[in-house]
Amino acid sequence: MAIYAIGDVQGCYSALRRLLDKCRFDPARDRLWLVGDLVNRGPHSLAVLRFVKGLGKRAVTVLGNHDLHLLVVAAGHAKLHRGDTIDAILRASDRDELLHWLRHQKLMHTGNGYAMVHAGLLPQWTIAKSLALAQEVEAALQSNDHDDFLRHMYGNKPERWRDSLRGHDRLRVITNVLTRMRLCTTAGRLEFRHKGNPVERPRGFMPWFTVPQRRSRKTPVIFGHWAALGLYTGSNVFAIDTGCVWGRELTALRLSDRALFQHAYSGRPGQA
């Protein structure tokens, strides 16, 4: 059995299927880990969602910011952004079933000596603490009161974690770290505006995985979210969002030997 971790798909269904063919993925034997952002920006978000859901226990996905955006829009707490491509899901006959499935996916996954998250882990958090905090958000999403969580999920404040945080502020910071963070200070203050190359980052901030003495550093962490970073395999992390939806590549990492597979997309961005 092989396990393949797949970077941000973002509705690029054809690219996903071609990459799996290149990996010789066998659903009867192999397993998929997906780093989140299954949907949005690409042309076939509905097909991606149906395909991954149909894999059942053969696939594990963590939620990304675009997946959560779909849930917030579907709940009526936000409007579609320009460039969103989730309309087909919202109109689908199996919409409620798909959204229920999505709402019951993880924020963080561990296994086979790895951890996987969409965006990152706060440098002050151990793997065990990160997993426990992720489960707090998962419980809120899966509860009968999930609408209240989605209503209050968006926001950049608080911008720093404290163990004493409670209620919506606590859940919001956890969600922001796991699904939106790219940069932070050594003290763990978050920054959300910068999406480009880490070389051009704001003063005082650095990529979360390069903070000295990061407490999760002994466990290899797989993540996506940062297309401008591209493929990065230093600091005991594997960044595998290689910007397929922007006309670049979709990447798979085989966990057993860390072999990389890519489907290089050469057409018009957003049509992969």
Is residue 271 pLDDT above 60, yes or no?
no
Residue 55 located in a structural domain: yes
Residue pLDDT, tens place only, 208-235 = 999 999 999 999 999 999 999 999 999 9
pLDDT at 199: 86
Range of the domain at 18: 3-264
The amino acid at residue 198 is: P
Task: Provide the number of structural domains found in the chain.
Answer: 1
Instruction: Determine the Cα–Cα distance for residues 212 and 83; give it in Å rounded to an integer.
Output: 37
At 82 the pLDDT is 94
Rg (C-alpha) for the chain, rounded Å, is 17
Q: What pLDDT was estimated at residue 269?
A: 55
Q: What pLDDT was estimated at residue 22?
A: 97
Q: What integer is the mean pLDDT of 240-266? A: 94
Q: What pLDDT score does 268 carry?
A: 56
- Domain assignment of residue 19, yes or no: yes
> Residue 40: pLDDT above 90?
yes
pLDDT of 8 > 80? The answer is yes
What local confidence, expressed as pLDDT, does residue 206 receive?
96
User: How confident is the model at residue 270, as a pLDDT?
Assistant: 52
Tell me if 163 is assigned to some domain. yes
- The count of residues in the chain is 272
pLDDT at residue 267 is higher than 60: no
Query: Contact, 27 vs 3, CB < 8 A?
Result: no
**pLDDT (tens digit, 9 = 90+) per residue, 67-112?**
999 999 999 999 999 999 999 999 999 999 999 999 999 999 999 9
Asked if pLDDT for residue 265 goes beyond 80, the answer is: no
pLDDT surpassing 90 at residue 5: yes
Whether residue 162 contacts residue 151, with contact meaning beta carbons closer than 8 Å, is answered with no
**C-alpha–C-alpha distance, residues 141 and 150, integer Å:** 8
Asked whether residue 212 is domain-assigned, the answer is yes
Residue 271 lies in a domain: no
Query: What pLDDT score was predicted for residue 146?
Result: 98
The answer to the question of residue 269 being in a domain is no
Res. 264 pLDDT band, cuts 50 70 90:
confident
pLDDT 10s digits, 18-27: 999 999 999 9
Residue 178 is predicted with a pLDDT of: 98
Report yes or no on 272 lying in a domain: no
pLDDT in tens, 126-176: 999 999 999 999 999 999 999 999 999 999 999 999 999 999 999 999 999
Name the nearest CA neighbour of 155 among 140, 135, 170.
170
Cα 182 to chain centroid distance, Å, stands at 12
CATH number of the structural domain spanning residue 45 = 3.60.21.10
pLDDT in tens, 180-205: 999 999 999 999 999 998 888 999 99
